[in-house]
Amino acid sequence: MRRLPGLFLRALRLRCPSCGGGPVFVTWVRMCPSCPSCGINFDREPQGGYWVGSNTINLFVTEAVFAGAFVGTLALTWPTPPWDAMLWGGMVLMLLFPVGFYPWSKTLFLAVDLTFRPREPEDYVQPAEPGPRVRR
């Protein structure tokens, strides 16, 4: 439990939650397969479905931001809320926020996963076996 704040702080900085190394993203939406510093595989379930948790985090955070913006706008503008602006602003928010939040949803999910399922030796990239020597 002592490691818990560190995992999430490193995730919020878009670094490897396990070691703090990085960068862990090649582009905004493409993650490295493993950490360049410690070698932990980011996809910890190669049979698939691992990132459903990050999509869930992205959905929940987007909904929370939308609810906060909606209630905040209502509170600030009551009794004449700008319904049209709220409609279009809400649509833009719901389309753009998940894209902007995407990398954090992945690193935060990794932090959650590492909290409940600590690292195992097989989570790390195994060094490649030297192949047979080819003589010419």
Q: Could you say which of 8, 14, 19, 89 contacts Zn ion (CB under 5 A)? A: 19
| 21: contact with Zn ion by CB under 5 A | yes
Binding mask 30-59 for Zn ion (x = CB under 5 A): -----x-xx---------------------
What CA–CA distance (Å, rounded) separates 42 from 17?
10
Report the C-alpha gap between 49 and 53 in whole angstroms.
Answer: 9
- Paired with 124 in beta bridges are 40
Of 27-35, 59-67, 69-77, 119-127: span binding Zn ion (CB under 5 A): 27-35
At residue 101, what are phi and psi to the nearest 5 degrees?
A: -90, -5
Minimum gap (Å) between residue 23 Cβ and Zn ion: 11
Which 8-state DSSP code applies to residue 14?
T
Shortest Cβ distance from residue 50 to Zn ion (Å)? 17
Closer Cβ to Zn ion, 34 or 55, answer by number? 34
Q: Cα 128–14–113 angle (5° rounding)?
A: 70
The residues of the shown chain that bind Zn ion, judged by CB under 5 A, are 16, 18-19, 21, 35, 37-38
